[in-house]
Structure 1
Amino acid sequence: MTFCFGRELSCEFENWMRSISGLGVERLCLSFICGSVSVPRDPFSDRSLETLSLTAVLLASGQLEGILSSCFNLEQLTLKLCNLPYKLRFSSTVTYVTFHICGGVKEIDFQAANLRALDFHCFDNVRFIFSFVPKLENVTIHPSKADTMSYIFGDFARDLPAHVKSLAVRCGHEIKCIPIDMKMFRNIRQLSLSLFDLYDSDILNISLLLGACPLLQYLNLTAPQVEKKSTKQRGSREPPLSPMCHTKLKEVTLGGFYGSTSEIEVALFILRSALTLERMFLIPGYISPHRGNLATNVSFSDRERYSIQRELHGQAISREAVVIFYK
């Protein structure tokens, strides 16, 4: 059920919600498209409610905690364009949580025994405290500030529980400080990185991150750079990346790939170190955050494809490895 209220109807909201609570509603979407509106402190009290989506809602301190405590069977929560208090204490039965461009919040303490997936996309860098999340396995984070790399591989990575198995990161700017002793990534099986506005040489630092993920099975790396060297200008190579063994890595996708010097080095590094690699996908296109999330329409020319194939041919340590070019 989806509702939309204007400010003039906010006084009736509590009565309406009490009526809805008696209907056994399982999925409720509230969208205040006429502008952000405050809701009563305890508008929800429904044992049937399993999915709740709030858009453009003003939540005062303690209000979200009250909503969560009154919805005993809530499994999925989505907050979009909401104004949140400075600190949140997230204690609930919720399994899946999404924060999408919410403002105000600076610290979230998760004490959620059933939480399995967290999707966080906000403009501000938020401190996450994972006090009790024994089932958390999938984390997606899309920060938007300029210093996101130091945040992701600094405070966020330091506090990420070691049992998280799938991490998806989307951010931009240079890859600078990636600590090589990141124990919090040691159980990651699936890693998706969408990194934008990089320089060609920055992508080489990805090898440090792979070294911190010994159980990694699936890697999806999209890293279109702002400055690339043509495939014709490979006379001055960077020193080759140090080889290491990856015994679990099965599938790798490299998006925004054009065959620059550093991109070839990363591809060779993976081919030479992944003992069980089955497929490597090379994709010149990518999803651009500056074009409404539309796929950039590019493809390999025959000359580029031949040049890249010549560089990578016969370099895989795995006998099962196949390099696949996507248009």
Structure 2
Amino acid sequence: MGLLALQRLTSLQRNRRQRQRQIRPQIRSVSSVAKRKGSPCQHDGDGGSQAAKIVRCSTPDLPEAMIAKNYLKQITENISSHSTLGQSLTWLQIAVTPGIEELTLMLCRSDKKAYSVPCSVFSDGVRNSIRCLKLSLCSFRPTAELGPLRNLSSLSLCSVLISGDEFECFLSNCPSLAQLDLYGCNKISCLKIPGELQQLRCLKVNGCRRLLVIESNARNLSSFILCADWVKKLSLGETLQMKNLSLQRANLVCYARTELPSTMPNLEALAISSHYEKVNTPTLPTKFLFLKLLTISLVSGWTFCPSYDYVSLASFLDASPSLETLNLNVAQEHMKHESVFGGLSQLRQMPERHHGCLKSVKITGFSSAKSLIELTCYILENARSLDCLTLDTIYGASSFASKNSSGCIPMGNGFLVECHQLSKGLLMEAPRAVMAIKTYIQDKVPSTVKLTVVAPCSRCCAGGFEV
């Protein structure tokens, strides 16, 4: 689309002055034709957007055909060489017109250099109307002279070269911003969210390899997702409005149980991922009174700390009287915890609790670890409202064998068996996990609870195992 438009633009610029009076009425008629009932526009039966319909109404050989005042704007530009940069800049300035509400720019070059989005693209009319801006694979160097984007409510930057100071300056000019997404913006080492962003509700940060500090003064932030465990300092300021939190870093589980109930008392959804957890989760009197969805990932590529007691995670259940869904990921390549088959000690008897709201529990990477079996039995004995329990012993290994229409092979007694290509460590542990389920858990499952066990098939474990 970009190269063809640029070729046409070169020839059109020669006689643009002569055709200017003809072009302008066509541009003005675009909006009115789209709004008019019974419009003669031809459009596909794919439920396309208003912008797509408008393009089909316009003259196809004009760059202005991409212009749709007050409607969706999406522009994807592929730049193959330095010789096209000047033409592309001209094309952008023509296409991005006052009245635009949504703009998506993906600027790719074959030489892997970042193409810079000029601030001149954001004229007064564009800044006053734009509501959604998405920039990808480019360089953006905003200055204070750019001026405010008063109606911008959604901003997404993906692999954009922009410094922390430049970004802070840009954000201070976006008072209506409600959602901010950052993906792989590797020039930012310090992310500061200014206090002017009183409308900011959702903040997502993923990647950004040089990011070390996050400081937010947005008082009404209610959803924060951070996937960058190298961040050294995290300050979210006022967090009473926080309802959805997702964090990833080392030693996070203990921190979440200790600090979050008091600093974020209104949490409704919490997802925490820790690749290194040495200290057991403490039992404390503080509560997550409104927490309904809890996801805990204790994942490491090789093996998790063998001394960690999975039973200590019951502290989260005791602290969350409104909890409805629990997702626990304990996947590891080699299970080094004490196995339920490894000694003569009996399962611990836990104090009786009542978890009257818990309905769904899924444990991914389920193993024969004794403390994990004890935690599962604790849940079955105390979650009287439980509807379904899923124990996945192969945690998403890639499938290579044929399955039935449902994707699984029924084994009976609530078991589902899948054929997968499994690692050596998993081939040894998964059958033990299945045996532990049959021996210690299956008989404790009430008839009202649907038990689903995802396990390797006999083809994957043809060599058998010993317990």
TM range (shorter): 0.7 to 0.9
Deviation at 1:20, TM superposition (A): 8.0
Question: TM-score, normalised on structure 1?
Answer: 0.79
With over 3 angstroms needed to count, the CA separation of the structure-2 counterparts of 1:89 and 1:56, relative to structure 1, is: same
2:264 to 134, 143, 161: 161
1:98 CA displacement? 0.4
- In structure 1, list runs of 5 or more residues that go unmatched: 289-294
**Preserved contact between residue 326 and residue 360 of structure 2 (Cα < 8 Å):** yes
Structure with bigger helix share is 2
> Aligned partners of 1:277, 1:254: CA distance in 2, in Å?
14
Return closer, same or farther for 1:153/1:126 CA change in 2, 3 Å cut-off. Answer: farther
In the superposition, relative to structure 1, how do residues 37 and 51 fare at CA in structure 2: closer, same or farther (>3 Å)?
A: closer
Is 1:285 the equivalent of 2:389? no
1:258 pairs with one of 367, 383, 390:
367
- Match of 1:92, SS state, is coil
State the alpha-carbon separation in 1 of the partners of residues 140 and 127 from structure 2.
23
Offset of residue 194 of structure 1: 0.9
Measured against aligned partners, the alpha-carbon deviations of 1:34-78 in whole angstroms (never above 9, x if no partner) come to xx66432464633443321123343444x5454344334433211
In 2, the alpha carbon distance for the partners of 1:89 and 1:274 equals 44
Query: What percentage of aligned pairs have identical amino acids?
Result: 20
1:122-161 alignment runs, 5 A limit: 122=228, 123-131=230-238, 133-134=240-241, 136-143=242-249, 146-154=250-258, 157=260, 160-161=263-264
Q: In structure 1, what is the Cα distance between the partners aligned to 2:171 and 2:285? A: 33
Amino acid at match of 1:119: I
- Equivalent positions of 1:78-157 (< 5 A) are 78-82=181-185, 83-85=188-190, 87-90=192-195, 91-102=197-208, 103-113=210-220, 115-122=221-228, 123-131=230-238, 133-134=240-241, 136-143=242-249, 146-154=250-258, 157=260
1:66-110 deviations in Å (ceiling 9; x for gaps) = 434433443321112330436544533133210113334534234
One-letter code aligned to 1:67: F
Does residue 222 (structure 1) correspond to residue 326 (structure 2)? The answer is: no
Structure ranking higher on relative contact order (CA contacts 8 Å, 6+ apart): 1
Aligned to 1:52: 155
How many angstroms does 1:287 deviate by?
Answer: 6.0
- Distance in 2, Cα, partners of 1:32 & 1:322: 47
- Pair 1:323 & 2:451 matched: yes
Distance in 1 (alpha carbons) for counterparts of 2:281 and 2:145 = 44
Conserved in 1, the CA contact under 8 Å of 2:193 and 2:218?
Answer: no
CA distance in 1: counterparts of 2:123 and 2:153, whole angstroms: 17
Aligned length: 311
Report the equivalent of 2:292: 189
Q: Helix, strand or coil for the counterpart of 1:310? A: helix
Three-state SS of the structure 2 residue aligned to 1:4 is: strand
**Do 1:250 and 1:277's aligned partners in 2 also have CA atoms closer than 8 Å?**
yes
Q: In 1, distance between residues paired with 2:349 and 2:147?
A: 59
The change in CA–CA distance for 1:15 and 1:3 in structure 2 (over 3 A counts) is farther
Question: What RMSD, in angstroms, separates the aligned Cα atoms of the two structures?
Answer: 3.5
Q: Which residue identity is paired with 2:442?
A: H
Residue of structure 1 equivalent to 2:133? 28
- Please say which of residues 275-284 and 222-231 is displaced more in the overlay: 222-231
Instruction: Give, in whole Å, the separation in 2 of the partners of 1:97 and 1:301.
Output: 38
Residue in structure 2 matching 1:207, options 284, 297, 314: 314
Instruction: Decide whether the 8 Å contact of 1:130 with 1:160 is kept in 2.
Output: no
Instruction: Report the Cα offset of residue 266 of structure 1.
Output: 1.0
Q: CA deviation at 1:319?
A: 5.5
**Which structure is larger by alpha-carbon Rg, 1 or 2?**
2
Runs of 5+ consecutive residues of structure 2 not aligned to the other structure: 1-103, 398-419, 456-467
For 1:305 and 1:151, how far apart are their aligned partners in 2?
32
SS of residue in 1 equivalent to 2:371: helix
